[in-house]
């Protein structure tokens, strides 16, 4: 029997959609026709992406009473348009271009793209992407640039190690870090022309002096002036990046000051340090009203397993997809770090890793950490309390645990006989 569906089509009366390019954009404005009820008026025009032209666009939108402006996330070209229109009091939605795909066979031009986006937007068939407020955006620019510089510095350090391998200098085999005090002194000596393995080994400091004989073997190679030239350039670049990272750290410390309490509370989570807390706040902000529940946040971050079902069969279960790479990296590192701790999250990581592997354990624990973060940021008075590594065992039936251990021993070929302890 057919039943009335609860859906009601709600049209956004005054909407605009922008198809943005580097030098220009196409704007489609759709408003009601005051003379003919039920009909719509449409205006399609091109504008330059220069500031004066965008100001004219903002004035035009306000004159027509547009209540929502929708634009696709096209490279970084959307940012100046979004920020300018937002500053002029307009409600601006950034949408994922994958959610606004055209029908197969439909002609595609900038004008048609803008019209299609306007029609989809006025019928509320799309959802906005998360764009943080200006203070968080400024923090995000700093933390992302720091992450990029750290990645570049790490890549350059890997090149140094490859260069030493090419010269048969096996310093990385003996030293845990070739960029510590001892390692840098030895590399400087190599650049300065010192080739005697015994002299180079004597530059070791602290605990490295216990490895003098191994260092002498490591420095027995064929380091040439060619290697010295390249090593000089590489170390100079690493030092320059280190100086830039230090400057960024100071700028981030100043920008994060208004959010110091949130950083402190996130820092209490095992695996999350002050730097990781800064990145997390920069990526998800502090206002959790944008994410109604913790599941909304984990889904947005792609830390929730996706489900695809067809013909009664579930396909691809467990695949999370690609989300915010800066946030994913921090959560992944935190999950692996906490896996070495004697905490509830550490035990959760180890339990899952034993059954399903380390990668799935990292995603699962990363999701748990993100859920904790949502609750901490949703309630400014909330504090993190660790449940303890024995949380699972304390809630498992002793008889169930006994039977499980017996089955495991029998599977190994043992006959198990239990006797109560005196």
- 8 Å CB contact between 45 and 19: no
pLDDT for the residue 311: 58
Q: Is the pLDDT of residue 96 over 90?
A: no
Q: Does 36 share its domain with 55?
A: yes
144 in the same domain as 220: yes
Q: Residue 296, SS3?
A: helix
- Among 209, 237, 252, give the residue marking a domain's end: 252
167 and 271, same domain (yes or no): no
58 and 160 together in one domain: no
pLDDT on residue 185: 93
- Residue 261 and residue 233 share a domain: no
Same domain, 53 and 80: yes
Look up the CATH number of the domain holding residue 104. 3.30.420.60
Mean pLDDT score, 91-117? 76
- Return all residues near 289 (Cβ < 8 A) that are at least 6 apart: none
In a domain, 1, yes or no: no
Residue 79 is part of which domain span? 15-122
| pLDDT bracket for residue 262 (50, 70, 90) | very high
Let me know if residue 417 belongs to a domain: yes
Last residue of a domain, one of 252, 270, 289: 252
155, part of any domain = yes
DSSP structure string for 32-53: E-SSSTT-EEEEEEEEESSHHH
For residue 156, the tally of other CB atoms under 10 A from its CB is 17
Q: Is 64 contained in some domain?
A: yes
Lowest-pLDDT range of 54-68, 163-177, 391-405: 391-405
Q: What is the pTM of this model?
A: 0.81
372 vs 304, more confident: 372
Residue 229 and residue 378 share a domain: no
Q: Is 93 helix (H, G, I), strand (E, B) or coil?
A: strand
Q: Is the pLDDT of residue 313 over 90?
A: no
pLDDT of 295 higher than 80: yes
Which of 122, 151, 185 lies at the terminal end of a domain, its last residue?
122
- Whether the predicted pLDDT of 9 surpasses 60: no
| pLDDT band (50, 70, 90) for residue 307 | low
Same domain, 185 and 247: yes
Residue 127 inside a domain? The answer is no
Q: What is the pLDDT at residue 106?
A: 66
Task: Check residue 123 and give its pLDDT.
Answer: 82
Cβ neighbours of residue 17 closer than 8 Å, sequence gap 6 or more? 27, 28, 69, 70, 71, 114, 115, 117, 118, 121
pLDDT of residue 263: 93
- Helix, strand, or coil (residue 212): helix
**Which pLDDT belongs to residue 84?**
92
Same domain? For 246 and 268 the reply is no
The pLDDT tens digits for 131-157 are 889 999 999 999 999 999 999 999 999
Across the chain, what does the average pLDDT equal? 87
Whether residue 2 is contained in a domain is answered as no
Domain count within the chain: 3
The pLDDT, as a whole number, for residue 401 is 77
pLDDT digits (tens, 9 = 90+) for 200-237: 999 999 888 989 999 999 999 899 999 999 999 999 99
Same domain, 179 and 47: no
| List of E strands, 56-108 | 68-72, 92-95
Report the distance separating Cα 12 and Cα 357, nearest Å.
48
For residues 91 and 139, the answer to whether their CB atoms sit within 8 Å is: no
Distance separating alpha carbons of residues 9 and 237, to the nearest angstrom: 59
Give the DSSP letter of residue 130. Answer: P
Q: In terms of domains, do 337 and 357 share one?
A: yes
Q: Which alpha helices (H) appear in 123-224, and where do they start and end?
A: 134-166, 171-174, 181-191, 197-201, 212-218
283 within domain boundaries: yes
Over 70: is that where the pLDDT of 105 sits? no
Say if residue 341 is in the same domain as residue 233.
no
Burial degree of 93 (CB within 10 A; 0-12, 13-18, 19+): middle
Q: Which residue has the tokens 């080994």?
A: 201
- 207 within a domain of the structure (yes/no): yes
**Statement: residue 103 has pLDDT above 70:** no
Mean pLDDT of 299-311: 74
CA-angle at 339, arms to 248 and 337, nearest 5°: 15
Token pair 């490279």 is at which residue? 75
């Amino acid at each position: 029997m057919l039943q009335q569906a609860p859906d009601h089509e709600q049209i956004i009366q005054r909407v605009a959609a922008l198809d943005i390019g580097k030098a220009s954009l196409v704007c489609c404005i759709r408003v009601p026709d005051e003379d003919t009820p039920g009909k719509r008026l449409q205006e399609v025009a091109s504008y330059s992406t220069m500031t004066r032209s965008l100001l004219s666009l903002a004035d035009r939108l306000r004159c027509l009473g547009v209540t929502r402006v929708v634009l696709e996330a096209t490279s970084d070209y959307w940012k100046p348009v979004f920020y300018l229109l937002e500053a002029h009091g307009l409600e601006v939605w950034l949408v994922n271009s994958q959610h606004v795909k055209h029908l197969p066979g439909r002609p595609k031009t900038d004008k048609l793209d803008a019209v299609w986006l306007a029609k989809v937007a006025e019928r509320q068939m799309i959802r906005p992407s998360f764009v943080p407020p200006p203070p968080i955006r400024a923090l995000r620019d700093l933390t992302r640039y720091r992450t990029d510089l750290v990645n570049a510095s790490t890549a350059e350090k890997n090149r140094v190690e490859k260069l030493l391998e090419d010269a048969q200098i096996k310093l990385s085999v003996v030293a845990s870090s070739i960029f510590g005090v001892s390692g840098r002194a030895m590399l400087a000596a190599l650049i300065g022309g010192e080739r005697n393995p015994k002299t180079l080994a004597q530059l070791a400091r602290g605990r490295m002096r216990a490895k003098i004989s191994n260092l002498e073997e490591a420095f027995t190679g064929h380091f040439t002036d060619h290697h010295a030239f390249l090593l000089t350039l590489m170390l100079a670049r690493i030092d320059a990046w280190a100086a830039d990272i230090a400057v960024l750290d100071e700028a981030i410390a100043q920008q994060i000051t208004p959010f110091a309490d949130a950083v402190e509370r996130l820092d209490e989570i095992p695996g999350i340090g002050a730097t990781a807390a800064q990145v997390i706040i920069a990526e998800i902000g502090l206002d959790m009203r944008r994410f109604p529940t913790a599941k909304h946040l984990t889904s947005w971050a792609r830390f929730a397993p996706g489900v695809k079902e067809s013909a009664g069969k579930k396909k691809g279960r467990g695949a999370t997809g690609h989300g915010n790479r800066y946030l994913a990296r921090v959560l992944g590192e935190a999950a692996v770090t906490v896996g070495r701790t004697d905490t509830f999250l550490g035990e959760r990581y180890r339990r899952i890793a034993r059954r399903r592997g380390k990668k799935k354990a990292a995603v699962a624990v990363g999701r748990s950490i993100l859920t904790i973060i949502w609750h901490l940021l949703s309630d400014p008075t909330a504090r993190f309390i660790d449940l303890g590594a024995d949380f699972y065992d304390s809630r498992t039936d002793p008889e169930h645990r006994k039977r499980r251990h017996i089955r495991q021993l029998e599977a190994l070929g043992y006959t198990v006989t239990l006797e109560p302890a005196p």
